[in-house]
Amino acid sequence: MFKLLSVTALATLVALVPAHAEWRYVGGDGVEVVLDAVPDRIIASQDAAAGLIPLGIRPVGIYADSVISDAKALQGLDLTGIEIIGQAWGEVDIEKAAVLQPDLIIGEFWPLETTWSGGNDVVNALTPLAPLTGPKQGDSILTLIEDYEALAQSLGADLGQPQIAADKAAFETSLAAFKSALAAKPDLTALAVWAGSDALYVAVTAGAAELMDFANWGLKLIDPEVADGRGYWETLSWENADKYQPDLVLVDNRSPSTMATAEAQPTWTTIKAVAAGQVAEWPAFWLRNYRAYAGALDQLTAAINGADAEIAP
């Protein structure tokens, strides 16, 4: 026998029926992506993967800027079961990507380049498979990590997991030690560089989110007088490597060959800090989670504690 439900009972029944889970996200380029359901099969750039995996979001595929074993952003992360669809900047295996049947591509938008992770060739290859979105590279790694937290939560991550809290607590401890080291040496100056066989490239603070963080926390970074058109570097011939004289030199550590390249140059030691052994690693452009950031800060803190702050003229 058919029985009419009361309004209250009907409302209760409706509440028990899952609503259609539409997913919306405004990417770093300002464009909103709307999907019929929360995406499950995600292809991520190496940096996006480094931001999401520690939060519990595991992509089905990753495209990297280099051979996976050399990708700093991915070191220490469990990549078991994840298909690697690219291991060089600007390159991706479109056949492997298509087999993964992605719901979404997640990368990072780089405002100075006005493109996404991997460059336009990768964007053009992947966007026919699924929408592309993700956070924007900005002026702070902390802001970027928070953006990944918001994105991961929208994808179903539980940010209350103990390991996530432990990673954040470790970062806060490392940050406090970093600030204390700087406070003890308020006059210490630093110079961030990348070494090429053709020239020494001096980093612009505003071109790297982690350098902006360091500066905001008290590190006195020397900014180059002239920057390239993209706003990242000043190029110095090796004959002019001593143009700037900091107390501490920070060398881009995305590749171990960078330090080796610098050390092979006869004029490398014309930088007084280098001659004094006051050289540390710069975690350039690859930090995306609290665990990695804590480790990088610990290394920098040790270098600052051991540095003579009166090397520079």
State whether CATH 3.40.50.1820 applies to domain 163-305: no
Annotate 201-230 with b (16+ C-beta within 10 A) or e (fewer). Answer: bbbbbebbbbbbbbbeeebbbbbbeebeee
In terms of Cα–Cα distance, which of 287, 283, 265, 286 is closest to 274?
265
Amino acid 21: pLDDT: 79
Determine the 3-state secondary structure of 78 from DSSP: coil
Tokens (6 digits) for 222: 């020397």
- Under CATH, what is the fold of the domain 16-158? Rossmann fold (3.40.50)
Amino acid at 191: L
Domain ranges of the chain: 16-158, 163-305
In terms of Cα–Cα distance, which of 270, 252, 248, 244 is closest to 187?
248
What's the predicted TM-score (pTM) here? 0.90
**280, containing H or E segment:** strand 279-282
pLDDT tens digits, residue range 153-192?
A: 999 999 999 999 999 999 999 999 999 999 999 999 999 9
Amino acid 226: pLDDT: 78
CATH topology match: 16-158 vs 163-305: yes
User: Tens-of-pLDDT digits for all 313 residues of the chain?
Assistant: 333 344 344 333 334 434 457 999 999 999 999 999 999 999 999 999 999 999 999 999 999 999 999 999 999 999 999 999 999 999 999 999 999 999 999 999 998 889 999 999 999 999 999 999 999 999 999 999 999 999 999 999 999 999 999 999 999 999 999 999 999 999 999 999 999 999 999 999 999 999 999 999 999 999 998 777 677 899 999 999 999 999 999 999 999 999 999 999 999 999 999 999 999 999 999 999 999 999 999 999 999 999 999 887 7
Alpha helices in the chain (DSSP H): 7-16, 46-52, 94-99, 120-126, 141-154, 162-184, 209-216, 256-263, 272-275, 290-305
